[in-house]
Amino acid sequence: MRYDLVLLHAPSVYDFRENSLLAGPISDVVPSSPVFEMYPIGLTSIADYLERYGLRVKIINIANRMLMNPHFDVEKKLKSIKTRAFGIDLHWLPHAHGSIELAKIVKLLHPDTPIIFGGLSATYYHKELIDYPFIDFVMRGDSTEKLMLLLMNKLEMGTTYYADIPNLTWRKGDEVGYNPLTYVPKDLDDIDVPGYRYTIRSVFKYKNFLDPLPYNGWLQYPNTALLTARGCTQNCLICGGSREAYEQNCRRHSLALRSPAKLISDIQFISRFSRAPIFILHDLRQGGREYVDEFFQRLKKLHLKNEIVFELFQYADEAYFKQIEESVPNYSVEITLETHDEKIREYNGKFSCTNAKVIETLNSALKHSCKKIDLFFMVGIPGQTPQSAVENIDFCETIHLACSKDPRIYYFVAPLAPFLDPASPAFEHPEIYGYKKLCHTLEDHRKAIAQPSWKHMLSYETKNMTRNDIVNSTYESAERLNDFKLTYGLIDHDSYEDIKWKIEKSKEYIREIDRILALPEAEQAKALAELRKEIEQLNSYSICGKNELKWEVQKNYANFYSLALVGLEQLYQDYVNKIKYLLRPKQRQQFTLDPEQGKGKL
C-alpha cells in the first residue's frame, strides 16, 4: 500500500532499549512512560484533515511499538513503507534525541522522500532543525492542518516553489527559506482536535490496530481527550503553552476556541465507541461565561455515561461545580497547584488566590459530587527553596483536615523536569525569574535527555536550588507524602512499602551514577550496563502509586458491534471523500488560505 503521508512518533531517546537511563519521576504524573510514547493530538487532526481531501495518511507510534515489543525492528518497519512524505513530531522537547535520530534512519532508508517536522519545539528550533541534512521542511505554528495540505499538494505536483506557503521553513539544495509565520487561525471549528474519527477509521482502513495506539496500556486504560483551545489566557512563567509563549513562538495573540457545539459533538462521538473518561484539556472558563453556559446546557442533554475530567487554572466557586453536577453524572477535577506558597503562586501565575480559596474550591467540588480530585505540587518553580518545596506536604495535611479527610482528593508531587519549556517566560528571561539555563540550543537538549540519570538531564538550576537540591527535595517531598498517605489511610501498607523502596533505591542509584560518571569514559558504559535491569524497575511510577492517577473505567468499550459500526461509517465517509476529489482532481490543488480568517478556500 502506498501512502501520501506517514506520521511517525519517536521515543524520547531513540535507543532507550540499549542504554541505562534513570528517568526517575519525570513522567510519573503523565499517562505515558519515561519513553514519552504518547504522541501529540495534533497528529490525528492533521491526518483527519488531509484525508477529507482524499489523501492517505497513516500514524505509526514508533515509540510505543518499541516499548510494547523489545524485538520490534524499527528499520524493517520503516523500510517497507511507501509514501510521498514522512512527518515527525517534535512538540515536546524531551523528544529532541529520538525525533532527530529517527529522521536520520528514515532518510538513510528513503533518501529521496522528504521529511517534515512540526510541533511547538520544532517551531522554536526551526532554524537548527533545517540545518540537519536529513530534514527537508519544518512546519511552524500551532495550527498546521491546512498548511500541510498546501505542502502535500506541492509535493504531489512535483512543484519545488515553497515560498508561498505560510509558516514553512524549507530547504532546496543549498537554498534555505524561512517563510513568515502569518497563518494563525482565530477559531478551530473546521478541524477535529483530536481527530478520533480518523483514528477509528484508520484501524479498519489500514488493517493495523497497533501502529496508532496512543500509549502503552491504552487498550487496558483508554483515556480520551478533547482540546478546547489553542493558545492560553494564563501566563504561567514556566509553561511553553502560556500566553506569552504562544505570542513569542506562534504569533498567537488571542485564544482560538472550539465551539461548545463542536466539543459536544466530539463527546457524543467518543461515547459511541468508549466508556472511558474524557479529559477536557484547558480550563473551560477561558472561553467566558456564555461559552461555559452553552457547553453545560448542551452536555446536560446527552445524558452521558462517560466520566468527564475538568482542568482548573484558578479558583472556582460553588456555583460552577453545581453547574457541572447538574450536567454530567460523573466528573473529576485536575488542579496543578504547584506550591502552598501564596506569593509564589501569584508570581508564577497559577491558582493566584489565597490558600483559604484553594480549600474552598476543593470543598465545593466535593460537596457537588466530584468523584476524584488530582492535586499536583511541583519542585523547581520560580522563587522556591528546598524548604518551601518540602513544606508542600504540610499543606497537603492542612487540606486533608480542612476537607474532612475526604479520600477523593489525591495528592502528587513531581519535579519540573527534565527541561524548562522553550518560549516560556522563564526560558526567555532566566535572569529575571531566577533561573540558570544549562541548555540553550536544540543540540544541548538532545545531549541532555540521553544522560544516564534525570539529575543530569535537568536543563536548569534556580537561584535557590541546584540540581542536587531539586533531586533531593523531590525525593524528600515524595517520602513525606508517602508517610502522609499511609498515616491517613490513603494508601495501603503494601503500596507504601513499594513506593518507599523505589525512592530509597532511586536515591542510591543517583549516587551510584554520579560515581560512575566520575570514572574514565572508557569504563562508564560497562558500569552503566550492569545497572540497566535494576534501573528499569524504577522507571515506572517511581514516587507515586501506579494506579493513583487513573480514573475508574466501568467498561472500556461500548461493545464490538458499536465499535465496528462507527468504523464502517467512517470508512464510508472516506469513500465519499475519495470519490469527491477523484471527480474534481484539480480542486484540492487550488486550495488556498485566507490568513485573516484561517479558512480554506477552493
* In the predicted structure, residue 324 carries a pLDDT above the cut 60: yes
Residue 423 backbone class (left: φ over 0; alpha: ψ -120 to 50; beta: rest): left
pLDDT, one tens digit per residue, over 163-211 is: 999 999 999 999 999 999 999 999 999 999 999 999 888 888 888 888 9
* In the predicted structure, residue 293 carries a pLDDT above the cut 60: yes
Strands (E), 287-330: 308-312
> What mean pLDDT is predicted for residues 388-394?
98
- Please provide the average confidence, as pLDDT, over all residues in the chain: 91
> What mean pLDDT is predicted for residues 244-257?
97
What's the confidence (pLDDT) of residue 535?
Answer: 78
275 Cβ contact partners less than 8 Å away, ≥ 6 residues apart: 305, 306, 553, 554, 555, 556, 557, 558
pLDDT, one tens digit per residue, over 113-158 is: 999 999 999 999 999 999 999 999 999 999 999 999 999 999 999 9
pLDDT, one tens digit per residue, over 4-17 is: 999 999 999 998 88
What is the topology classification, in CATH, of domain 3-189+565-590? Rossmann fold (3.40.50)
More confident residue, 571 or 359: 359
Radius of gyration of the chain (CA): 24
What residue type is 385 in one-letter code?
T
Of the candidate ranges 499-508, 524-533, 579-588, the one whose mean pLDDT is the lowest = 579-588
> What mean pLDDT is predicted for residues 576-598?
62
* In the predicted structure, residue 278 carries a pLDDT above the cut 70: yes
331 Cβ contact partners less than 8 Å away, ≥ 6 residues apart: 307, 308, 309, 310, 324, 325, 369, 370, 371
Q: How many CA atoms lie within 13 A of 401 on its CB side?
A: 7
What's the confidence (pLDDT) of residue 602?
Answer: 43
DSSP string across 522-568 = HHHHHHHHHHHHHHHTTSSSSSS-TTTTPPP-S-SSS-HHHHHHHHH
Of the candidate ranges 299-303, 461-465, 541-545, 557-561, the one whose mean pLDDT is the lowest = 557-561
What's the confidence (pLDDT) of residue 545?
Answer: 65
Residue 546: pLDDT band (50, 70, 90) is low
Domain boundaries, the chain: 3-189+565-590
What's the confidence (pLDDT) of residue 554?
Answer: 56
Residue 49: pLDDT band (50, 70, 90) is very high
What's the confidence (pLDDT) of residue 4?
Answer: 97
Residue 541: pLDDT band (50, 70, 90) is low
What's the confidence (pLDDT) of residue 599?
Answer: 54
Element spanning 315, H or E: none
DSSP string across 270-283 = HHHH--S-EEEES-
376 Cβ contact partners less than 8 Å away, ≥ 6 residues apart: 29, 334, 335, 336, 337, 338, 412, 413, 414
> What mean pLDDT is predicted for residues 264-289?
93
C-alpha cell, 270? 467518543
C-alpha cell, 227? 482540546
